[in-house]
């Protein structure tokens, strides 16, 4: 193993669509691929700023457990639909928006009366359906900027007394996958290449989300490093064996590295994580040592936990 810690670079970006892209980062010190990949994934899913509806009011309605005159959906269904409306907000101020719609037909996100600081990302998203030609649907919305997830209880303290609070998923990042390959710099052949794929809801580009996640991690580590600095070496030019990045499945020893990943780094639910750890299963390698039946028989572990684990491993493409 080389004593040099090379400075990695973002060597390739593949934009599959406006909401999906893949990133190649190399060269990374041996083992840093999993470390950096897992860190970036956690921050991307939990800490990127986004906007969501946090409270609403429908004219003539005082609580959520009721129907709306002239509207097909009840209030609970409308609440679920509001969670699917995605916004791009320019600034940090809370926005108070309104919908006024008359006549039979769907009420969609494009019916939201926005201002210069607000843009609706998915205007065709259906919020409600008016089934009475004479009905009038009036709704006030509170849209806030935040990070991660906020429960109804946390949001209720901030809402006006006549508003109905919503739990809010602010994160604009919908999916993150990563894998690690071997790469080389000169004679050093034990370096890592990180391949990371990011899908967003359209309110932020994958590259902006990637860069924001990296900046968040940089701020965290810089605060801990104090004045200490470690000399680094810029990556040397490839001497012929590198070529273009390939995002296919021809990975070199990446699964061996992934098998050493800690169970606690998989972002499983607390119940599933505790059940595995309490049964002396600490890495993905320990998981693969047991079949499905043996996993179901573990104390505190059942079919739902097994499905959660399988879904997570499939997400990591293991």
Where does residue 153 rank: exposed (0-12), middle (13-18), buried (19+ CB within 10 A)? exposed
What whole-number distance in Å separates Cα of residue 247 and Cα of residue 14?
9
pLDDT score at 2 = 56
pLDDT digits (tens, 9 = 90+) for 21-72: 999 999 988 889 999 999 999 999 999 999 999 999 999 888 888 888 899 9
* Segment 115-133 mean pLDDT: 94
Where does residue 303 rank: exposed (0-12), middle (13-18), buried (19+ CB within 10 A)? exposed
pLDDT score at 236 = 47
Q: What is the DSSP letter of 229?
A: -
Mean confidence (pLDDT) of the chain: 84
pLDDT score at 250 = 42
223 phi and psi angles, rounded to 5 deg: -65, -30
pLDDT score at 213 = 95
**173: Cβ–Cβ under 8 A, 6 or more apart, which residues?**
44, 45, 48, 198, 199, 200, 201, 204, 209
Domains defined along the chain, listed by start: 1-47+174-242 (3.30.1360.10), 49-169 (2.170.120.12), 260-318 (1.10.150.20)
What whole-number distance in Å separates Cα of residue 299 and Cα of residue 247?
39
Query: Do 56 and 164 meet the contact criterion of CB atoms below 8 Å apart?
Result: yes
Copy the structure tokens of residue 249.
């499945």
Radius of gyration of the chain (CA): 24
Which carries the bigger pLDDT value, residue 254 or residue 80?
80
Q: Among 197, 171, 205, which residue's Cα sits nearest to residue 12?
A: 197
pLDDT score at 168 = 92
* Segment 244-258 mean pLDDT: 46
What whole-number distance in Å separates Cα of residue 20 and Cα of residue 177?
11
pLDDT digits (tens, 9 = 90+) for 138-197: 999 999 999 999 988 887 666 677 889 999 999 999 999 999 998 877 777 788 999 999
Query: Do 191 and 6 meet the contact criterion of CB atoms below 8 Å apart?
Result: yes
pLDDT score at 65 = 85
Work out the end-to-end distance of the chain between its first and last CA atoms, rounded to an integer number of angstroms. Answer: 26
Which secondary-structure segment (H or E) carries 41? helix 32-46
């Amino acid at each position: 193993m080389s004593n040099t810690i090379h400075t990695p670079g973002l060597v390739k970006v593949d934009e599959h669509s406006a909401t999906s892209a893949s990133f190649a980062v190399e060269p990374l010190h041996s083992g840093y691929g999993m470390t950096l990949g897992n860190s970036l994934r956690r921050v991307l899913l939990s800490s990127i700023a986004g906007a969501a509806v946090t409270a609403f009011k429908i004219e003539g309605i005082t609580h959520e457990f009721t129907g709306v005159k002239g509207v097909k959906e009840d209030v609970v269904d409308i609440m679920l639909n509001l969670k699917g409306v995605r916004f791009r907000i320019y600034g940090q101020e809370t926005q108070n928006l309104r919908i006024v719609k008359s006549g039979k037909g769907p009420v969609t996100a494009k019916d939201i009366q926005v201002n210069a600081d607000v843009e609706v990302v998915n205007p065709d998203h259906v919020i409600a359906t008016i089934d009475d030609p004479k009905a009038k649907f009036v709704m006030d919305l509170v849209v806030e900027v935040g990070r991660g997830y906020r429960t109804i209880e946390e949001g209720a303290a901030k809402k006006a007394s006549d508003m109905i609070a919503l739990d809010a998923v602010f994160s604009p990042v919908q999916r993150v996958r990563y894998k690690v390959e071997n790469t080389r710099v000169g004679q050093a052949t034990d370096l890592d290449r990180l391949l990371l794929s990011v899908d967003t809801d359209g309110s932020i580009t994958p590259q902006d989300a990637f860069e924001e996640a990296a900046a968040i991690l940089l701020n965290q580590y810089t605060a801990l490093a104090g004045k200490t600095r470690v000399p680094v070496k810029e990556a040397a030019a490839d001497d012929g064996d590198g070529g273009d990045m390939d995002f296919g499945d021809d990975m070199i020893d990446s699964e061996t590295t992934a098998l050493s990943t800690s169970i606690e780094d998989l972002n499983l639910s607390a119940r599933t994580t505790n059940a595995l750890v309490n049964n002396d299963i600490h890495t993905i390698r320990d998981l693969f040592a047991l079949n499905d039946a043996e996993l179901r028989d573990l104390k505190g572990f059942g079919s739902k936990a097994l499905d959660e684990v399988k879904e997570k491993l499939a997400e990591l493409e293991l």
